[in-house]
Amino acid sequence: MNILIKGIQLNNQISDIYIENNIIKTISSPVESIENVPDTVIDGTDKAVIPGLVNMHTHAAMTLFRGYADDMPLTPWLEQKIWPREKKLTENDVYWGAKLACLEMIKSGTTTFFDMYYHFDATAQAVLETGLRAFLSEACFDFFQSDLTEQSKKRIAQGYEKFLENTDYQSKNTISYAIGPHAVYTVSGGLLQWASDFAKDNHLLIQTHLAETEGEVANCIRQFGTTPVRYLKQLGILSPNLVLAHAIYVDDEEIRILADSGVSVVHNPASNMKLASGERFQFREMKSAGVKVALGTDGCASSNNLDMIEAMKLAALLGKVWRRDPEALTCNEMLEATTLTAGEILHQNIGVIQEGMQADLCLIDLKTPAFTPNHNFVSNLVYAANGNCVDTVICNGRILMQDKKVPDEDGILENAARQAFDLVGR
């Protein structure tokens, strides 16, 4: 599909953007010549364009648990509420939970997400149907039991082989396979090492939760004699293909270790605050040391929504308040973390609007109170707006939402709600 966006605000200038297939072909004011007549022309009047947002850490199908178990600490929340229900998850549950998540992400401007959950194919099917770009890692646990370790290895290896054989996944080229060992307290060192080696051998990304709570760090020291980052270093799995979710409780030396190893980190401000995991995420120190830092929402059971525009605001405000420094984090840094930096971590040609880049774009409705007056567009986007300001979403050159409407919204909402109540009632 070839798309022409006419008269759109880009970097405080009015431009025309021509998309050919899935690539940004031309940016000019106006487009001087087009080789092919566009299939679709979008009027950009009173709209601005930004790169598609990237949610670098979530558990998509946990939309089914939205509002189910709130106002609890992390450990009892997991052990008493979430894990018992997740044992009953079916592929159909995950499909509808992921379909709802995809709808919510499209509605709020996310075009790419990095997921960790069960039933890879169910989530992948939802992604294919809605048109998003996704890195999907099936969560693995072995709870330090050798039989579960072998089962996890087998499932990952077979899952990747099945992924490579799936012509839909390969032809669409918008789904990537990744590995998701849950955490150091649920996954043995042997399985972590195996997963890391498998990921390196197959050029895959690997994501795990790390140093999310003080309790996790204390337990790690008791069990392994050192802190989580140092434990991973001892295991030999720190590498540029490793992405750490949370990493709140790390010291200066550990930040240097992460930077020297090329490890990336995802800050999840909503989840961290809601579960009271901790507020002192060291964004500035990590970035200064050379660690790539992106943003995520975490799953809807702990963050309650998948709104990356809200996540940018929360990250900026949280970083300011614990430092007592209004200059600590800026709106521009947050937008960069959610676009360009995330694209670099994922090794994707996304995150910036330039000729030759993948056509992942969001059109923002400027005719709203949040953008009135519009002294500073990025400031208004991060501090004043939320996901409701997104008017049109294009991913991989395909229009997923236009005029704030996504195909079959009502059907997705109805089926997902029915599936959620059925799940928690089992």
Q: Region 146-167: what's the mean pLDDT?
A: 97
Tokens of 295: 């943003």
pLDDT band at 37 (very low <50, low <70, confident <90, very high): confident
Query: Could you count the other beta carbons within 10 Å of the beta carbon of residue 307?
Result: 25
pTM of the model: 0.97
Query: Could you count the other beta carbons within 10 Å of the beta carbon of residue 51?
Result: 25
Which of 160-174, 226-240, 241-255, 399-413 is least confident?
160-174
pLDDT at position 95, please?
A: 98
| pLDDT tens by residue, 12-28 | 999 999 999 999 999 98
Q: Give which of 297, 313, 282, 292 is closest to 378, Cα–Cα.
A: 313
pLDDT band at 34 (very low <50, low <70, confident <90, very high): low
- How many CA atoms lie less than 13 Å away from 425 in the CB half-sphere? 6
pLDDT at position 69, please?
A: 87
| pLDDT tens by residue, 219-253 | 999 999 999 999 999 999 999 999 999 999 999 99
Does 31 score more than 80 pLDDT?
Answer: no
| pLDDT tens by residue, 186-206 | 999 999 999 999 999 999 999
pLDDT at position 36, please?
A: 74
Does 30 score more than 80 pLDDT?
Answer: no
pLDDT at position 33, please?
A: 61
pLDDT at position 424, please?
A: 87
Average pLDDT of every residue of the chain: 96
| pLDDT tens by residue, 268-317 | 999 999 999 999 999 999 999 999 999 999 999 999 999 999 999 999 99
Q: Give which of 12, 17, 56 is closest to 362, Cα–Cα.
A: 17
